[in-house]
Amino acid sequence: MLETAHRGILTRGLGLDWCDVAAVFNVADNHIGTDGIRDIEDLARIKGLVARAARKLLVLNGEDPRCVAMADEAEAEHICYVTMAADPGTLIKTHIAAGGMAVTFRPDDDGALIEFHDGGEVTRILPASDLPGAFGGKAMHNVQNAMFAVALGHGMGASIVDIRAGLLALKPNHQDMPGRLDFFTGFPFQVILDYAHNADKFNAVSAVVNQLKCSGRRIVAFTLPGNRTDPHLDNLAATAVQSTYDHYICFRRHDLRGRGSREVPECLRNGLIAAGIPTENTSVVPIEEDAANAALDMAQPGDIIALLYMDHDKIWELLRAPQ
């Protein structure tokens, strides 16, 4: 099992009694107000079921206190913490000193290094800048993903040599990572597809877009699942305003999830305008394919287009079609 979503756990159960290795990446507030989840502690309890299923190794985000707390009820033989903090903190330092496992991120003359700690020994994995999916260190969220992969791979018996080779072999393209910083070439402007569908992921993708060379404008088409609450929509709009986009296209997915046909994009646009984005720098194009086409029609040479939370296979085929 590669992933089990909170809604699947609530409606159908975890799907397994136990597993050798499990990981909990974070406990974020993205789903509060949906499926009966009242607060972030409810969400932590749901994700805690994943943590308690592990028998050999449990991998936890060492920077998320709700993830760290899951170690107290864990039944796994070993705990591995993942942290990108320059100072991992007392708990993780003590854990490492006692021979515990951790994956850390250390500044170095060769660039920031991913390192694996186990049994009092530290193994250099590779510089973050060597990861193809990190785009030279621009995509720090993919660096964190790679760090979790190191821990998970080790827990499943892979050698460090094979883990390193696997990380280097994973390319940021439609074949290896469809819909995740998926660059489409063939236009006189850059087009990026990504599944970002909450404020945190929007921030992560925008951080990469902001670092790319751009002689023109940055244009984003974005949305949120219809079952998210109004505060989630407002939060995404507020997050979007903090990025350096020149135009915002708001749309909705085909699955309305209880919302009206224009409700989500109109709410997002209103949030953008309320936060100071000029009305002329926003558009509402409800249907996702139309929103993608609107971005392409608007684009000029030198622009960057970010298409977020769209049906990536369908939109990829749309991009391949003769323009």
Please check whether residue 29 lies inside any domain of the structure.
Answer: yes
Note the pLDDT of residue 323.
64
d(CA 26, CA 196): 16
Q: Same domain for 19 and 162?
A: yes
Q: Same domain for 247 and 293?
A: yes
Q: Same domain for 231 and 255?
A: yes
Q: Same domain for 144 and 13?
A: yes
Q: Same domain for 71 and 146?
A: yes
d(CA 294, CA 308): 14
Using alpha carbons only, how large is the chain's radius of gyration in Å? 21
Q: DSSP states of 215-256 as a string?
A: SS-EEEEE---TTS-HHHHHHHHHHHHTS--SEEEEEE-S--
Q: Same domain for 121 and 207?
A: no
d(CA 78, CA 266): 48
- The owner of tokens 């505060």 is 231
Q: Same domain for 15 and 150?
A: yes
The answer to whether the predicted template modeling score (pTM) of the entire model surpasses 0.95 is no
Cβ contact 108:127 at 8 Å = yes
Domain span including residue 231 = 182-320
Cβ contact 83:104 at 8 Å = yes
SS3 110: coil
Question: How many domains in the chain?
Answer: 2
Q: Same domain for 129 and 11?
A: yes
d(CA 9, CA 195): 22
Please check whether residue 154 lies inside any domain of the structure.
Answer: yes
Q: Same domain for 193 and 279?
A: yes
Note the pLDDT of residue 173.
87
CA dihedral (25, 30, 36, 39) in degrees, to 10, reads 80
Note the pLDDT of residue 63.
96
Q: Same domain for 68 and 97?
A: yes
Per-residue tens of pLDDT for the chain, all 323 residues:
788 887 788 888 898 999 999 999 998 776 666 666 777 788 889 889 999 999 999 999 999 999 999 999 999 999 999 999 999 999 999 999 999 999 999 988 767 999 999 999 999 999 999 999 999 889 999 999 999 999 999 999 999 999 999 999 999 889 998 999 999 988 999 999 999 988 999 999 999 999 999 999 999 999 999 888 888 899 899 999 998 899 999 999 999 988 999 999 999 999 999 999 999 999 999 999 999 999 999 999 999 999 999 999 999 999 998 76
Q: Same domain for 238 and 108?
A: no
Please check whether residue 1 lies inside any domain of the structure.
Answer: no
Please check whether residue 70 lies inside any domain of the structure.
Answer: yes
Going by DSSP bridges, is the β-strand pair 247-252/121-127 parallel, antiparallel, or unpaired? unpaired
The closest alpha carbon to 131, from 97, 165, 178, belongs to 165
d(CA 26, CA 100): 20
The closest alpha carbon to 264, from 290, 287, 295, 244, belongs to 287
Q: Same domain for 129 and 189?
A: no
